A and B are shown apart, each in its own frame.
Chain A
Amino acid sequence: ETGVTQTPRHLVMGMTNKKSLKCEQHLGHNAMYWYKQSAKKPLELMFVYSLEERVENNSVPSRFSPECPNSSHLFLHLHTLQPEDSALYLCASSPTSGGADTQYFGPGTRLTVL
Chain B
Amino acid sequence: GQNIDQPTEMTATEGAIVQINCTYQTSGFNGLFWYQQHAGEAPTFLSYNVLDGLEEKGRFSSFLSRSKGYSYLLLKELQMKDSASYLCAVRDSNYQLIWGAGTKLIIKP
Contacts and interface: CB of A to CB of B under 8 A. Distances in A.
Interface of A: 2, 4, 40-43, 45, 56, 90, 97-100, 102-108, 110
Nearest to B44: A2
Contacts, number: 49
Given A2-B42, A108-B42, A41 B101 contact: yes
A100 B42 contact: no
B28 to A, nearest CB: 13
B101 A100 contact: no
Interface residues of B, number: 25
A56 to B, nearest CB: 8
A8 to B, nearest CB: 14
Contacts of A108: 40-42
